Amino acid sequence: MAQQSIITKNRIVPIDKVRNVGIIAHIDSGKTTTTERILFYTGRSYKIGDIDEGTTQMDWMPQERERGITIVSAATTTFWKGIRINIIDTPGHVDFTAEVERSLRVLDGGVVIFDAEEGVQSQSETVWRQADKYKVPRLCFINKMDKLGADFEATVKEIEDRLGAKPAVMVYPLGKEQDFKGVIDLLTLKSIVWGKDPQGIEYEVSDEIPADIKEKVLEAQAKLIEHIAETDDALLNKYLNGEKIAVEDLKKALRKAVISYKLIPVYCGTSLRNKAVQPILDAIVDYLPSPIDIKEITGIDPRTGKVKKRSISNEEKFSALSFKIQLDPHVGKLTYTRIYSGVLESGTYVYNINRNKQERVSRILLMHANQREEIDKAYAGEIVTLVGPKDTRTGDTLADPNDPILLEKITFPEPVISLAIEPKTKADQEKLAFTLQRLAEEDPTFKVKVNHETGQTIMSGMGELHLEILVDRMRREMGMQVNVGKPQVAYKETVKKSVEAEGKYIKQTGGHGQYGHCLIKVDPLSRGEGFKFINKIKGGTIPSEFVPSVEKGVKEALDKGVLLGYPMTDLQVTLYDGSYHDVDSSDIAFKIAGSMALQDGAKRSGIALLEPIMKLEVTVPENFMGVVIGDVSAKRGKILGTEKRSRAVVIKAYVPLADMSGYATVLRSLTEGRGFFYMEPSHYEEVPNNIVQGMINK
């Protein structure tokens, strides 16, 4: 416990000495291994955690240790050279993309890790785009330099070409593959060599540069200085006049360039062999922003709807964003929160703007993966966990009730796959509903709905692994025994052409009757635009209090679908006319009329069935290329191209998710177990007519 009390005692550092950093990358690039080394070298842990042995601190869930993958993002705090570093280790698997999305929303900087042999892979591009979306300054660490086929220069070139980044190469590798022993720092021209100490704590620094690479090193240094000088007018003048620029001035200019997304420093090493991780720690301290470098946050004043700015400091009024909910069996609901301004004390109340409620914060915790320390106060720039708030959800803004500011929410992708689930005993029916609700609270990409016609409970997620892990958690953490159906693809329906439609609901009974009548226009929208409702009622032909009822009826009809019962999307409904009865009109009558109008319009417009299309990357030895391409084409796949990577070939394609069930087994048998693939949701496309007919006739 000594180490933990040090964290609590030292954590109150000036705001410019804080770094909130995320470790992000493609699956199997070495994120968790790198994080474990960072914790070891900064003295946060006394023993290096190992994924294969299941002894990592950041992957603490049983499912993570068994599978050797990260499932939930884990937060921790450590220190390096007097700087407090709050680290979030994120998953690489696309099924858990929500964990990356929400972490990037609250971080000030990121370390993107690449595999030196594989280069820039699909998920690397995805996380890079997510970081771009939230304008997160970042560093690159090219890991696994000891791996057969490692190629530092090729990976740097891919970062430039495929990610559109401007890399500032900070180090030159000393050797590669099994001969990799360290790096040359290009700013100081010092060789840093790891050798005798197997744990990598001790290393030698010298001015010696091997003669065979000296020319290349000087060339790389000149290129680095030129890149940095281009971002600063004063340095550019010195550079053009041939003057020597001091290392400190280069570092200052580089820091500014990194914070304004002009340059991305690139380092290399091998985390598993404990070589060259310390320079990354120095780079986090030297180049990634502190909360104060971000200067201010922008939000909306909920009272006026106008843009509002707030500086990041302890003196400001309190504002924070909840970015993750976790249900802990011992403590209850944990709300992971990034504090942007002001100070939060335990035992006080905060105002949840999204829910329009006061929430009490009974305790404030600092997390180290799944261990926690209690603290009394949390300051601007900190990432802490709150115990107490009951109704707060992911993406909610917590603020001072007297001076509220609504911060930008976090957006998540829609689920693409679903399965039916039922409890093994009737007695567990109620418990199942409660369990699913708890899991949906934690995970914004997990959706649950009940099909009222069949009585089935349907759970939807980002992929088969995602749903498998959730079912596993139900069994282990919540003691729920459930039966699950086969995974089903999340189809959607849409309309083909613009039509006008009418919905009229008239029911005469002994007393009051029911009367609702509306006229709507249904128009198709582009893919991904969702649903829009426009009210164009003029002259009170439908009283304004009944318009929301029509919209509600339309939405209910959309959820049920028309052709095969799949939800409808990508259409616009315009309510332009109708009539009402002084006595008999009611909310329910107009709701039914709206539903009838939509169903009538959709049928006359013609229904198109949409299916999720996946972006697929298959990596196989060259001699299996033909057979794999043939198989992908047989699955209605559209081959986008192939590229050579080291001794393998990467086949890129768009493939319908419906044809990809059990693909891991198929690929293993086609490639004698030597092929592997990566798949992520891309977009929705219309299902060919012959397949739709087959589904209707089933």
Task: Enter the tokens of residue 454.
Answer: 């069949």
Is 403 annotated as contributing to ligand binding?
A: no
Give the Cα separation of 566 and 563 in Å (integer): 8
Reported in sequence order, the residue ranges of 536-688 that DSSP labels E, i.e. its strands, are 571-579, 607-621, 638-645, 648-656, 676-686
Give the Cα separation of 193 and 204 in Å (integer): 5
Q: Going by DSSP bridges, is the β-strand pair 74-80/83-89 parallel, antiparallel, or unpaired?
A: antiparallel
Is 26 annotated as contributing to ligand binding?
A: yes
Task: Enter the tokens of residue 261.
Answer: 């997304």
- Asked if residues 580 and 488 have their Cβ atoms less than 8 Å apart, the reply is no
Is 28 annotated as contributing to ligand binding?
A: yes
Is 90 annotated as contributing to ligand binding?
A: yes
Residue 367 to residues 9, 82, 335, 377, Cα–Cα distance (Å): 15, 20, 11, 14
Is 31 annotated as contributing to ligand binding?
A: yes
Task: Enter the tokens of residue 56.
Answer: 């990592």
Give the Cα separation of 306 and 298 in Å (integer): 11
Is 143 annotated as contributing to ligand binding?
A: yes
Is 32 annotated as contributing to ligand binding?
A: yes
| DSSP states along 76-109 | EEEEETTEEEEEEE---SGGGHHHHHHHHHH-SE
The SS3 of residue 71 is coil
Is 517 annotated as contributing to ligand binding?
A: no
Give the Cα separation of 421 and 457 in Å (integer): 6
Phi and psi for 494 in degrees, rounded to 5? -150, 170
**Residue 364: which of 380, 353, 351, 348 has the closest Cα?**
348
- Asked if residues 523 and 572 have their Cβ atoms less than 8 Å apart, the reply is yes
**Residue 353: which of 314, 395, 315 has the closest Cα?**
395
Is 144 annotated as contributing to ligand binding?
A: yes
Give the Cα separation of 589 and 39 in Å (integer): 63
- Asked if residues 449 and 437 have their Cβ atoms less than 8 Å apart, the reply is no
Is 92 annotated as contributing to ligand binding?
A: yes
627 Cβ neighbours under 8 A, 6+ residues apart: 670, 671
- Length reported for the chain: 698
Q: In what side-by-side order are the strands of the sheet with 182-185?
A: 171-174, 182-185, 190-193, 204-206
- Asked if residues 404 and 301 have their Cβ atoms less than 8 Å apart, the reply is yes
Give the Cα separation of 32 and 663 in Å (integer): 27
Cross-strand pairs, 456: 451
- Asked if residues 171 and 268 have their Cβ atoms less than 8 Å apart, the reply is yes
- The phi-psi region of residue 369 (left if phi > 0; otherwise alpha if psi is between -120 and 50; otherwise beta) is left
- Asked if residues 408 and 394 have their Cβ atoms less than 8 Å apart, the reply is no
Q: In what side-by-side order are the strands of the sheet with 371-375?
A: 357-360, 349-352, 397-399, 319-328, 332-341, 383-387, 363-368, 371-375
Is 25 annotated as contributing to ligand binding?
A: yes
The SS3 of residue 249 is helix
Is 391 annotated as contributing to ligand binding?
A: no
Q: Show the CA angle centred on residue 479, arms to residues 473 and 481, nearest 5°.
A: 90
- Asked if residues 263 and 257 have their Cβ atoms less than 8 Å apart, the reply is yes
Q: Show the CA angle centred on residue 34, arms to residues 31 and 37, nearest 5°.
A: 150
2 Cβ neighbours under 8 A, 6+ residues apart: none
Give the Cα separation of 341 and 319 in Å (integer): 5
Is 483 annotated as contributing to ligand binding?
A: no
Give the Cα separation of 651 and 642 in Å (integer): 5
Task: Report the binding-site residues.
Answer: 25-32, 89-93, 143-146
**Binding site, annotated residues for GTP:** 25-32, 89-93, 143-146
